[in-house]
Amino acid sequence: MIAADSAPPLLGEAAGVAPLLEVRDLHVEIPVPRGRLHAVRGVSLRLQPGESVGLVGESGSGKSITLRALLGLLPAPAKIVGGTILLDGVDITGMPRRRRQRLLTDTMSMVFQDSLTALNPVMRVGDQIAEGPRRKLGRPASEAKRIALDLMAKVGIPEPDRRYLAYPHQLSGGMRQRICIAIALSTDPRLLLADEPTTALDVTIQAQVLEVMDVLRKDADLSMILVSHDLAVISQTCSRVYVMYAGRVVESGEIRALLQDPRHPYTFALLRSVPDPDAPVHRLLTIPGQPPDLIDVPRGCSFAERCPFVAPICVASEADPELVVLREGVDHASACLRWQTADSWDQVAAQSSIEGPQ
């Protein structure tokens, strides 16, 4: 087996294009009254220019903390305690704080889940979009307004001239999220970090907003990290995916490979929990138990306690198993020591009592 660090070339790498973003072995800790909560435990990610990758995992798996760490926006008192971040191949970890922050905010923008708290309630939405070009890009007010109106049309807001003057509470959730996307794009970022951008919206609006993001991304040759707890949403938009569990990446690779041939029991379970619209009876694999305590992580694989396919080897070592590439030249890695037994997982799950009709 090959360490995931020597992963096969990704889109563009063969042509010598450096990854836009490379994160190596990122660790984030949050001091809490009970001790130090290890929210992110050795996450590595790579993203080529123009690429869109997904970050998926259940609540508390460390998706938001990872994104915020990348943008230098961790909530106090959370801290990066280890790892390296490279932008265009340049290690920014040791840079003076202000210079690093400027580089990060010049390159990346973020869209959050909750548009109502992300927007300023007492400022017209159009002005909120124009603020980026005016303040950050130094454009004159009239040009900033033109850019804002243009972006409003691009994200699919009807009658931009009229809506420019609206306050956030006067717009629907879907429209507000489009405003947030316009704000994120207003400073010409190269990388969009989208944290559950459509979770708060109903399904039809969700699909429309995802579609808008996808078109804009391709138009502007933008890279994106899309966070979701829903693999179906990720598979609509992303070419690659990282599956997170308890602060670690447990499986990664090309999206189709993971969907068709999951090689970590956690991904397997996540896929079972995506209802198949064509199936006569939706079957849902509920994963019994809770994620581990991130202040006092148990020995061995963090998923072992909840894993339907657990074996003694899974808890034999002190640390979590490493993410390893499954086959040389293939973009698919798993942190399950027993990934080779995956062919039997369907059968085991079908026979066990953990699966049942939804």
Ligand X SMILES: Nc1ncnc2c1ncn2[C@@H]1O[C@H](COP(=O)(O)OP(=O)(O)OP(=O)(O)O)[C@@H](O)[C@H]1O
Stretch in the footprint of Mg ion (CB under 5 A) among 59-67, 87-95, 165-173, 303-311: 59-67
Stretch near Mg ion under the rule CB under 5 A, chosen from 64-72, 139-147, 218-226, 231-239: 64-72
Instruction: Please give the size of the binding site for Mg ion, defined by CB under 5 A.
Output: 1
The residues, any chain, with a CB within 8 Å of residue 132's CB and separated by 6 or more, are 144, 183, 186, 187
| Total residues in contact with ligand X, by rule CB under 6 A | 15
Dihedral of CA atoms 254, 257, 259, 262 in degrees, nearest 10, equals: -110
Is 194 a binding residue for ligand X by CB under 6 A? The answer is no
Is 63 a binding residue for ligand X by CB under 6 A? The answer is: yes
The piece of 5-13, 61-69, 208-216, 232-240 that touches ligand X (CB under 6 A) is 61-69
Before 357, cis peptide (omega within 30)?
Answer: no
DSSP H or E run through 112: none
Q: How far is the CB of 193 from Mg ion (least distance, A)?
A: 12
Interaction of residue 198 with Mg ion, rule CB under 5 A: no
By CB under 6 A, residue 197 contacts ligand X: no
* 278's tokens: 């064509």
| Interface map 288-327 toward ligand X (x if CB under 6 A) | ------x---------------------------------
Q: What number of other Cβ atoms are within 10 A of residue 219's Cβ?
A: 9
User: How far apart are CB 26 and ligand X at their closest, in Å?
Assistant: 12
CA 218-220-226 angle, 5° bins: 60
Among 44, 48, 52, 64, binds ligand X (CB under 6 A): 64
Q: Report what 168 binds from Mg ion, ligand X, none; CB cut-off 5-8 Å by kind.
A: none
Length of the chain, in residues? 358
Residues with Cβ < 8 Å from 276, sequence gap 6 or more? 282
Tell whether residue 66 is a contact of Mg ion (CB under 5 A). no
What tokens does 142 get? 């009239």
Site for ligand X in 217-256 (CB under 6 A): 229
Sheet holding 324-325, edge to edge: 2-3, 324-325, 332-334, 248-254, 240-245, 52-56, 223-228, 191-195, 108-111
Nearer to ligand X, 67 or 349 (CB): 67
* Residue 158 CB-half CA count within 13 A: 3
Binder to Mg ion among 44, 48, 61, 64 (CB under 5 A)? Answer: 64
Among 49, 60, 72, 83, binds ligand X (CB under 6 A): 60
Which of the stretches 10-18, 19-27, 57-65, 250-258 binds ligand X when contact is defined by CB under 6 A? 57-65
Enter the DSSP assignment of 132.
I
Which of 60-68, 158-166, 280-288, 348-356 is the region at the interface with Mg ion (rule: CB under 5 A)?
Answer: 60-68
In the chain, % helix, strand, coil (3-state, to 5) comes to 35, 25, 40
Q: Between 29 and 51, name the residue whose CB sits nearer to ligand X.
A: 29
| Cβ closest to ligand X, residue 43 vs residue 324 | 43
Among 57, 132, 189, 300, binds ligand X (CB under 6 A): 57
For ligand X, which stretch binds (CB under 6 A), given 12-20, 31-39, 178-186, 305-313?
Answer: 31-39
- Provide CB contacts within 8 A for 3, sequence distance 6+: 322, 324, 325
Q: How far apart are CA 53 and CA 252, in angstroms?
A: 10
The residues of the shown chain that bind Mg ion, judged by CB under 5 A, are 64
The residues of the shown chain that bind ligand X, judged by CB under 6 A, are 30, 32, 37, 39, 57, 59-65, 75, 229, 294
